[in-house]
Every structure is written in C-alpha cells, then in structure tokens.
A = this chain, B = another copy of it.
Amino acid sequence: MRITVLRERRPGERRVAVVPELVPKLTEAGFEVAVEPDAGAELHASDDDYRAAGAYVGDDAIDNAKVVLSVQPPDLAHVRHLPEGTVTVSFLPTIQELPLVRILRDRKVTTFSMDLIPRTSRAQSMDALSSQALVAGYRCAIVAAERLPRFFPLFMTAAGTVRPASVLVLGAGVAGLQAIATAKRLGAMVEAYDVREASAEEIRSLGAKFVELPLEALGGTGGYAREMTEERAAKQRELLTPYVANADALITTAAVPGRPAPLLVTAAMVNGMKPGSVVVDLAAEQGSNVEGSKPGEELNVNGVTIWGGRNVPSQMPLPASRLYAQNVVNFLLLMLKEGNVEIDFDDDVIAGSCVTHAGEVRHHLTQDQLGEVG
C-alpha cells in the first residue's frame, strides 16, 4: 500500500509533510512511500535524499495512494480525483475550508485534521499545533532581537554598563512560552501576561516576570483562552498600556481557536512606545493582536517597527517539517497495522481528529458550520 507525500502548492508554504529521515518509519511499517518531485526543495531535501531513504519519487506519486500526506489541506485539483476510502492527513482548519470538506465528504475520503489532535498526554507526540507553535515562538524572539537596535542582554564593559532590553510577551501558550524562553536565553528582561490562571506559574518558571493585572483570570481548554467580553478586553488594554510603553520589544501570540485573534494593543498604545521599539505580532494572520499589523509585512509607524507574522513556521522549514513529520508519522502509526490501514474510531485520538469518513462529516462543529452555511 502506498503513502504519498505531496509537494505543497499554497503560496508561502515551505514545509513538507515527511522529511527523508522519517521515510524508513513508514516503509518499516510495510508501506511504500511515494513523494512528489521537489517536495522538500525549500528545506534543501532533494529528490535523491528521498530516494536514498527508500521512497519512490515521481510525478505520478499520488496514483493508487491509500494515504495522502500534506501540511496544508490538499488541493481541490487533487481531491476531485481521490478514490473512495483514501485517507488524507494535513492541517485542515475546517471553518475556513468548508467547500473542500464538502468534496472530501462527497468523495467518501477519510479526512484527518492535525488541527484537531486532542491535547491529551497520549497525543502529545502528535500535537502538530504545538510543535509548529514552538518553531513560531522561537522565531518571534529572534526576529525581535534582530530588529531591535539595541542589545537583548546586559553588558558590563570597561566603558560602563548597558542595560538589557525589556521584552513584553502577551499570550503565553506554546509560542509565547518559547518566545519568553528564547528572549531569556539571550539575556533580556522579560515580562509576560496571559489571561489564563495557569500561565503565571509557567511564565515564572522560565525566569520571566508575570504581569499581574487587577482582572479576574479566564479559563480555557487545551492551552487556549476563552473569548472575553469587550468590556474586559478594553479594561485589559488600558491596564496593559504602561507595560507596552515600557517595552523595547513587544511579542504578541494570543489566539482563540476558531475565532479572530483578540485585539490586545491599539494603535494609540503602539504610539506610546519609544521610537526604535519593535513589535512582533504572531497573530497578524488571525486578525492581529496589534492594531495596524499586517501579515507578512514589516511597517514603521512613528519609529516603531511592526512585524506581522505570516506562516511563521514556514520561515524555518527544516525544523518545522522535521517536527510536523514526526507528529504525522506518530499519528499514522496508530492506524498502520501490518501493511494495512485500520481506522479504530474507539481510539479518541483517531475519532477526535477525523473530519470526514464514509460520506459523513464526523466533526460536530464542522457539521454545524456546514448546516449554517449551506
């Protein structure tokens, strides 16, 4: 049976679903691995690297595929030709991809979304949202350090002492915690805030200062915050204003799944920052944590650099692909039994991450959305 690795086709996507070094994990499970030409080009993994790892590489890689792997959702052009019973595994933010979900359902494809892997201990090694957030969080801190025209660390020199940079991180999920850890490594003074109660301890354990605001904490599930009322959000912005004004570098990473990112920092708050300061908004693609940030753009607003993230894990395609591939392979291994694919819906990881199967939409939220939209 054949497992096919697609070449990514969406603009700006530089990752690949399986890196050469992980090909043997799938061949050892009794599968043929077929890879589209140039699939690993952006991370300098050549077709020969895949061949050396035991894969077939060819334009016809998708023919007779039982399992189709990709990072971004597979193209409509591909999906229209998939035979009944094919299995696809990729990121698939269903709310943004309803037309694709309908076709996958109608073609009786079995579709898994890596966005839906449950955040349980057992599924940790398959948690691609977390692994990609780790890459993004590291990248945010490095981007801030590179654009800030001053040192992150304290320097004590013969010519006197230069104080370290003040870095403020808003949102302390996986990406935010990694940004904190990286900025701390570089020697910055780091403060961080998150609406979730559990985050204070995590932030402090990295040696950063937790910003305590006189607001009640918000709960949340799976490491994400719940959405908050506009009244609380406004109060929060007001209380954060002096912290933002004090920061040399501001990194925002606040996301609410399935919703636009919360506006944490207004244009007026950015205006209150010192000229030469840097803002890195990881949430720019999801609607922005910072007013005025644009995905994939670097703006200068009154001397403040505002960097908007766009597919940030793809900016480090090698480690991002390496981790994603391991997540995907770990997930697949739940289903690969002696050269066959066996889908056991009693397994909560398999059941939880399945979007379509046998002509049905199995994910409840997506069912609702499909019902509403049409």
How far is A294 from B319 in the complex, measured between Cα atoms in Å?
29
How far is A323 from B130 in the complex, measured between Cα atoms in Å?
41
Q: Is the CB of A151 within 8 A of B303?
A: no
Chain A interface residue count, Cβ-Cβ cutoff 8 angstroms: 44
User: Which B residues are in CB contact (< 8 Å) with A159?
Assistant: 125-127, 131, 323-324, 326-327, 330
How far is A146 from B330 in the complex, measured between Cα atoms in Å?
30
A274 within 8 A of B: yes
User: Which B residues are in CB contact (< 8 Å) with A315?
Assistant: 149
A317: which of B149, B187, B326, B327 is its contact (CB, 8 Å)? B149
Q: Is the CB of A151 within 8 A of B316?
A: yes
Q: Is the CB of B274 within 8 A of A44?
A: yes
Q: Describe A's contact surface by its main secondary structure.
A: helix
Task: Determine how close the nearest CB of chain B comes to the CB of A69; give it in whole angstroms.
Answer: 15
User: Which B residues are in CB contact (< 8 Å) with A127?
Assistant: 158-159
User: Which B residues are in CB contact (< 8 Å) with A44?
Assistant: 274-276, 303
- Chain A 177-199 interface mask (CB, 8 Å, partner B; 1/0): 00000100111000000000000
- Chain A 269-285 interface mask (CB, 8 Å, partner B; 1/0): 00000111000000000
User: Which B residues are in CB contact (< 8 Å) with A131?
Assistant: 157-159
- Chain A 326-337 interface mask (CB, 8 Å, partner B; 1/0): 110010000000
A206 within 8 A of B: no
User: Which B residues are in CB contact (< 8 Å) with A324?
Assistant: 159
User: Which B residues are in CB contact (< 8 Å) with A182?
Assistant: 153, 186
A150: which of B146, B160, B186, B318 is its contact (CB, 8 Å)? B318
User: Which B residues are in CB contact (< 8 Å) with A318?
Assistant: 149-150, 276
A142 within 8 A of B: yes
How far is A126 from B138 in the complex, measured between Cα atoms in Å?
37
5 A-B contacts (beta carbon < 8 Å): A44-B274, A125-B160, A126-B159, A157-B323, A159-B324
10 nearest interchain CB pairs? A146-B146, A124-B158, A44-B275, A159-B326, A125-B158, A159-B323, A160-B326, A44-B276, A150-B318, A131-B159
